[in-house]
Chains A and B, each alone.
Chain A
């Protein structure tokens, strides 16, 4: 956690600090490419109605920001020159969890709150729970509790999806 070299605003916690601040060239390259893409998009905005043409043009502010970001990226690349790129992550479990989360969201849109049961179960298993009874109990009870609190007590409407 404690790296005296970075006194201000570090990520809240947990970042793998030893792999940080590296490959600035690659980071800067990605940012510059993003800026170029967004700049191109900003040339394709609709035209401003004649009566409002004196107002601050809609593309001015985004473009100003794109130039600022591009400029800062160059500074960053200069500052970070010569520092090696970060090693590739061991990310198999992150990928599995991310896949479960994304599929869970897609199913949530289609089937609403029922999905959460499967999602809780899958994530709980991915986190290493092996006792089946406890896993099933958790996967049933937690979404049920969430449904009671949010939908019944607080009046939130979950997506209807295929149920209507």
Chain B
């Protein structure tokens, strides 16, 4: 509690600004423009979700060591509402100096792809990826649908009831894209969260669901759930026996990712400073312990180049799928 308080104290914050500024000058003694005086104040991480959610917790875990690496204070600023729209319009109106960064999830990309966001994909630049949790198609352990082919065949007769989260989000679009690419029919049953999907798949109210590995790790290990196919190009390391959509020839690749982005206008030098500090923080055992505790591995984290490419591809996929579904606001 008291530690959090430290990050909020306005008076102390000013003090830290001065302190961090000076330290930063010592640490990066000039040379390239934009880098010398950065960070000259606290880093503000804008999230779109309330306290205690995955995005919030991931951001806070990331910041524990980032503060130390940047020698600057860092705070989480939740701007909830509108599927990331409130956070995006806040960030849009902040100066592009690298002191304001945004923690994004597929929600932001999908809101952009629906044409309802104040920011476009070309207004942002990826800094680091902090988690990468692929979506895996699962059924209950005793389901007659034993393979992906069974599921596809069953869906051609009657639509498969498939649990997702909100309409127009990554789970829904993943289900719809899978249905289209595998030429089968899916009846989407939206729920408010992953926990509810797990309960309902277990209770037999739905036949299948696209779940993150972390959401159903125990159920998979115990045999309560069976993984039919992972919506990735290659097999994922935690499920070596589960075929990937890539090898099945189904062009539906979706993953629940979290990461940090900045506005396009932020100088490249500053992006690099942030990237280096955050990557170092995520390689520390504090963050690694958080990842493994949640069933993720070190592959989750990635630098600016990989992450930036991934969000762009995900945006393009989402845009295509949402246009198909008639869910893009003109």
Interface of A is mostly: helix
A155 touches B325 (CB 8 A): no
CA distance A49 to B75 in the complex (A): 39
> A89: CB under 8 A from chain B?
no
A152 closest partner in B (C-beta): B5
B5 A157 Cβ-Cβ under 8 A: no
In the complex, per-residue mask of B145-188: 1 if CB is within 8 Å of any chain A CB, else 0: 00000000000000000000001000000001000000000001
Q: Which of B5, B7, B75 has the most CB of A within 10 A?
A: B5
B176 touches A157 (CB 8 A): no
Query: Quick one: closest A residue to B5, CB to CB?
Result: A152
Question: Which of chain A's residues have a CB closer than 8 A to the CB of B293?
Answer: none
Evaluate whether A151 and B176 lie within 8 angstroms (CB atoms) in the complex, with A49-B326, A49-B327 already known.
no
Q: Is B77 an interface residue (CB 8 A)?
A: yes
A162 contacts the other chain (CB 8 A): no
Interface size class of B (residues with CB under 8 A): 10 to 19
- Is residue B2 within 8 Å, beta carbon to beta carbon, of the partner chain? yes
**Complex: how many Å from CA A49 to CA B8?**
44
Chain B residues contacting A156 (CB-CB under 8 Å) are 8
CA distance A50 to B7 in the complex (A): 48
Q: Is the CB of A153 within 8 A of B2?
A: yes
Contacts of A155 in B (CB 8 A): 1, 4-5, 7-8
Cα(A156)–Cα(B77), bound, Å = 10
Contact with A along B243-257 (1 / 0, CB 8 A): 000000000000000
Measured CA separation A19–B263 after assembly (Å): 59
- By beta carbon, the residue of chain B nearest A150 is B8
Count, A-B residue pairs, CB within 8 A? 36
Those of A109-164 within 8 Å (CB) of chain B: 151-157, 163
Are B8 and A151 within 8 A (Cβ)?
yes
Alpha-carbon distance between A51 and B326 when the two chains are bound, in angstroms: 9
Q: Is A52 within 8 A of B1, CB to CB?
A: no
Q: Which residues, 1 to 26 on B, are CB-close (under 8 Å) to A?
A: 1-2, 4-5, 7-10
User: A49 and B4 in contact (CB under 8 A), knowing A157-B75, A157-B77?
Assistant: no
CB pair A152–B9 under 8 Å, yes or no, is yes
Q: Which of A51, A154, A163 contacts B325, CB < 8 Å?
A: A51
On chain B, the residues within 8 Å of A152 by CB distance are 5, 8-9
What residue in chain A is nearest B4 (Cβ atoms)?
Answer: A155
If A51-B176, A52-B167, A52-B188 touch, does A153 touch B5 (CB 8 Å cutoff)? yes
Residue numbers of A with Cβ under 8 A of B are 49-52, 151-157, 163
Starting from the known contacts A51-B176, A154-B4, 17 additional A-B residue pairs (CB-CB under 8 Å) come to A49-B325, A51-B188, A51-B326, A52-B167, A151-B5, A152-B5, A152-B8, A152-B9, A153-B2, A153-B5, A155-B1, A155-B4, A155-B7, A156-B8, A157-B8, A157-B78, A163-B10
